[in-house]
Structure 1
């Protein structure tokens, strides 16, 4: 895995990789793999962030599902490939929600497909493969050279790719969208609507008419995390965005994400990011 990805936990013994969200990292990165690397010993793993694998010669695109075990044997190994990893927050406010809520996002829904083997296989038409290669190369160049505006440029190129993925996957994800589970959708809708307020597992359970224990079991089994984990993730994503404003006091950021105790917010932020909010801000 490239530097942009790191193991964050294990789920049933399988490593779960998260996107590195530190101030120095771009929200999108490219990893070039030779054919022998694709055929190498890459064991089963889970992505906690969206990822694409593009084989230019054949035009194959593998859309890696969030939260599902990836079986490398489902991927062709006869050609070099480009892996595109990104933090969904790169898409702005709509991307900061927990990944199960992405079902309503036209550019993120393909990444919650749940296809067997963890990858959805698409094919880029021959007349568009040059555009794909140029766009991925441009993202890589922005990441490498880091000239003025490189972050915004990389995100713009990423959007071009994701629009094409959404169009290629339109027929497939339409069926998957219709089969989505309403209970999980309700849970993450509540988190999205109320993360900026006082919100607990008990509050969410009451809103979906379930006991806290049963809801915890269901959500953990289907997403690998607890409801409280997802509430925290949404709040931390918003906190990272708010820290970009140098004039916004830390206490106000804590209040805006539903955590009136600035000290507790700072401790939780450090636990999740390895540094205090003020240090994060200073490195932006």
Structure 2
């Protein structure tokens, strides 16, 4: 049935499972809307890092690299919106600060109704959720017309890093290096590193390593794949090189990390 992957999850639940899961450089196969009602932190979406706080809405399209650094006490909701709902959703990420109480209340009502249906076993539950999701898309479209998007690619640096983030998300399983990505983008590695540092506080190589290691952690924690297979699947030349890179990034060996999260 269309829309069966439509989910709404409280942020504290989404952030469970350890700090590494919260801050992992990851992506999802469906669109995501995050509504923060309390607390603050920092987010990196598509290579741009910004602070977030209460009454912030963040839309993250499917397959967009992102991470969160959330302080204790962050609360809100995350809605996962599959493509088969046919909603008119943005193709690029956005981060909106919603200051009007009426706009805040409108979204809260839609999310409350979505959550109520998600937790019920009422007849036509799925249809009701899809209709509420449609109202959510309308709300987002209106807010994008009325509010400044703090993730907007308003500079050449942001546009370059967003494109780099898209390439990394597409190809991080390969052995491609920063030089390879820079070549595809028509710039030098030095320039790419400089603009990455400017927009998200990481060098280009750190950004690439973060994405690879985040995926390695996920595979180690959530699957039984051998370390050798994980290393090969992430483009490392050898299991030994993967182990050194993983330990340098996390402080633990791959097997040590796997044992710690079992």
Question: TM-score, normalized by length of structure 2?
Answer: 0.53
- Map 1:62-77; keep pairs closer than 5 Å: 62-63=56-57
Alignment of 1:247 onto 2:224: yes
Q: Distance in 2 between matches of 1:245 and 1:82?
A: 25
Residues 1:64 and 1:22: Cα distance change in structure 2 (over 3 Å): closer
In the TM superposition, residue 129 of structure 1 has moved relative to its aligned partner by 3.2
The separation in 1 between residues aligned to 2:36 and 2:105, in whole angstroms, is 22
Count of equivalent residues: 203
Query: Normalising by structure 1, what TM-score?
Result: 0.50
Structure 1 spans left out of the alignment, 5+ residues: 6-18, 55-60, 68-80, 93-104, 114-118, 138-159
The alpha-carbon deviation at position 269 of structure 1 amounts to: 2.3
Task: Give the corresponding residue for 1:129.
Answer: 108
Equivalent in 140, 164, 171 of residue 194 of structure 1 = 171
Aligned to 1:83: 75
Q: Does structure 2 retain, via aligned residues, the 8 Å contact 1:110–1:166? A: no
| 1:231 lines up with 2:208 in the alignment | yes
Gapped regions of structure 2 (runs ≥ 5): 1-11, 27-34, 60-65, 68-72, 82-88, 117-132
* SS of equivalent residue, structure 2 residue 20: coil
* Higher RCO (C-alpha under 8 Å, 6+ residues apart): 2
CA RMSD of aligned residues (A): 5.2
Deviation at 1:225, TM superposition (A): 1.1
- 1:85-113 CA distances to partner (integer Å, 9 max, x unpaired)? 98xxx969xxxxxxxxxxxx9598123x6
Contact kept in structure 2, 1:110 and 1:169, CA below 8 Å: no
Residue 93 of structure 2: aligned partner: 109
Distance 1:32 1:197, change over 3 A: closer
